[in-house]
Amino acid sequence: EPPVPLPADCREEQYPCTRLYSVHKPCKQCLNEICFYSLRRVYVINKEICVRTVCAHEELLRADLCRDKFSKCGVMATSGLCQSVGASCARSC
């Protein structure tokens, strides 16, 4: 199938991501002279490069939400109510 074209204000962005897979690994077990195999589930961590679509209108919306959040944080800080908002104002966007 041909790739679907992106809207004009969107771009594809690569970012590092980690995925966890479960696989069945054969495991040999011997009891005296009798050996048999059992399938054990093991987990494999895979570091990959993922792709996401980022659109300008979504970035603007996220920036507006961030501005709204931190304007509230500023008001809370100047009024001495920082503890009531906790960690939500601890870091910037």
User: Is position 47 within any domain?
Assistant: yes
**Would you say residue 54 lies in a domain?**
yes
CA separation for the pair 40, 61 (Å, rounded): 47
Taking a C-beta distance cutoff of 8 angstroms, is the pair 57, 6 a contact? no
pTM value surpassing 0.75: no
Interval 33-78: pLDDT, tens: 888 888 899 999 988 899 888 887 777 777 766 766 666 565 555 5
Domain containing 53 equals: 10-73
Any domain includes 85: no
- Reported as a single tens digit per residue, the pLDDT across 73-84 is 655 555 555 555
| 52 is a domain residue | yes
What DSSP character marks residue 5?
P
Domain count, the chain: 1
pLDDT band at 93 (very low <50, low <70, confident <90, very high): very low
